[in-house]
Structure 1
């Protein structure tokens, strides 16, 4: 009698395991992420390093050091030769110096997402279409004029204090670097 019960339990266990794996293997694979085709259709346009002076009361008080790149739609920019460095420099002067979007005294309150969106919107407006899909802020730092003087007056030791405004690059920059674009 014990052998019969054991054989029944063994058959039930084998059946449950077989059904579990049959269902698991029969389900459709997950659909590819919606981001993958969109990212595959984008091209990285590397930006150059920019130094933008901050002028207050007619005097230079510091410098923004930046490197900003773009993710642009491959199909829309095909055959176009756009002066992206000049456009970006002009836009950064407008945003950082003219509109003073970054208050150097309150760096922690800086809205990175708003900064990226403003650059994207303004540059697309200048270009006359939706050419730029994403702004990649690779570096945005502030260096005061006093720190530059310390470096020049020092005995070769680097005593500058660079204020990092953005520590993390855009998530798109990481995915593009992984893909090797």
Structure 2
């Protein structure tokens, strides 16, 4: 009888210890509420772009770019605009029109600045804070001389302006649906 009583007390102690550990390691109550309060986002894939670089009235090469964005899901449902053309327009304006990248110093390019300008530009055109993040998946430069040479080894001189980021794994690719 004493053995059964001791086993019962032992099980109660383990159960109470497990409950205490679960509650203490789960974090503060405010943390869970903040995680649930975060804005749900959707991934909108950008298109692969080939943007010409014009120097002295001649095309000297091409930027290869793929930039995608994450958007606020709730606001995207209300806006009903395709986001991919806005991404293309922003990149074309920044890389070709504003000549944001100086090719001799392309290695020191400010990727964070590009992301901010793309985000702010799209949000400004849409009229609200729709874009929550920018993902630079590819940003390279190919010179026209390398492309015109028939030698594939020469194409290895591609200037990688930014290391590509991976899109979110759980992201739902929306493409041009918004």
TM-score by length of 2: 0.74
Number of equivalent positions: 152
1:24-43 equivalences in 2 (<5 Å): 25=21, 27-30=24-27, 31-32=31-32, 34=34, 38=38, 41-43=40-42
Residue 33 (structure 1) shift: 9.2
Pair 35,112 (structure 1): closer, same or farther in 2 beyond 3 Å: farther
* Unmatched 5+ stretches in structure 1: 1-17
Higher alpha-carbon Rg: 1
| Backbone CA RMSD of aligned residues | 2.5
TM-score by length of 1: 0.73
Pair 109,90 (structure 1): closer, same or farther in 2 beyond 3 Å: same
Aligned to 2:154: 159
Question: Partners in 2 of 1:64 and 1:35 — Cα distance?
Answer: 38
Question: Partners in 1 of 2:90 and 2:61 — Cα distance?
Answer: 18
Identify which of structures 1 and 2 has the higher relative contact order when contacts are C-alpha pairs closer than 8 Å and 6+ apart: 2
Aligned to 1:147: 146
1:1-181 equivalences in 2 (<5 Å): 25=21, 27-30=24-27, 31-32=31-32, 34=34, 38=38, 41-78=40-77, 80-150=79-149, 153-154=150-151, 157-160=152-155, 161-169=157-165, 173=167, 176-177=168-169, 179-181=170-172
* Unmatched 5+ stretches in structure 2: 1-13, 173-178
Aligned to 2:8: none
Question: Partners in 1 of 2:73 and 2:44 — Cα distance?
Answer: 10
Question: Partners in 2 of 1:164 and 1:92 — Cα distance?
Answer: 16
